[in-house]
């Protein structure tokens, strides 16, 4: 074989190796779509929590009974269209729940202290209207 054939084969092998490593590290394009949907859901939940906290502040420290009283924010899963769940607890505590397509603990560069980390499947975030809403992680897809 001549030199050009070896160079072409070596370049092809390098491209294949890079593609395999990329898919292994980042996941397939379909998995990345799921990760992106989960990020959007977390952003929506954080915005919804801000509105709930604001309603609590304006209503003499009473949580809204349901999400129907909250306007101007996304209240459903961007992927499935399933509504987020809201459970008022005692005093200023409440839960916001969603179904996630991925486990954020398995993502590269995930902050271990991120209060918005979630497992795959149904998960409820424990929030308190008397405390500031934790900042949602930066969505590097937008």
DSSP, collapsed to helix, strand or coil, labels residue 73 as coil
Task: Compute the distance between CA of residue 11 and CA of residue 14 in angstroms, rounded to an integer.
Answer: 5
Place of tokens 């304006």: 58
Q: How far is CA 67 from CA 76, 118, 123, in A?
A: 11, 22, 18
Cβ(64)–Cβ(55) below 8 Å: yes
Tell me how far apart the alpha carbons of residues 91 and 79 are, in angstroms, rounded to a whole number.
32
Tens of pLDDT along 76-135? 998 889 999 999 999 999 999 999 999 988 876 667 788 999 999 999 999 999 999 998
């Amino acid at each position: 074989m001549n030199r050009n054939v070896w160079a072409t084969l070596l370049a092809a092998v390098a491209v294949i190796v890079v593609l395999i490593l990329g898919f292994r590290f980042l996941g397939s394009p379909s998995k990345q779509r799921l990760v992106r949907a989960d990020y959007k859901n977390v952003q929506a939940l954080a915005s919804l929590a801000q509105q709930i906290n604001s309603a609590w502040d304006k209503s003499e420290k009473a949580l809204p009974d349901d999400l129907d009283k909250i306007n101007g924010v996304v209240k459903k899963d961007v992927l499935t269209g399933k509504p987020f769940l809201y459970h008022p607890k005692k005093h200023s505590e409440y839960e916001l729940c969603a179904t996630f397509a991925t486990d954020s603990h398995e993502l590269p560069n995930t902050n271990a202290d991120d209060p918005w980390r979630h497992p795959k499947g149904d998960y409820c975030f424990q929030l308190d209207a008397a405390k500031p809403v934790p900042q949602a992680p930066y969505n590097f897809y937008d």
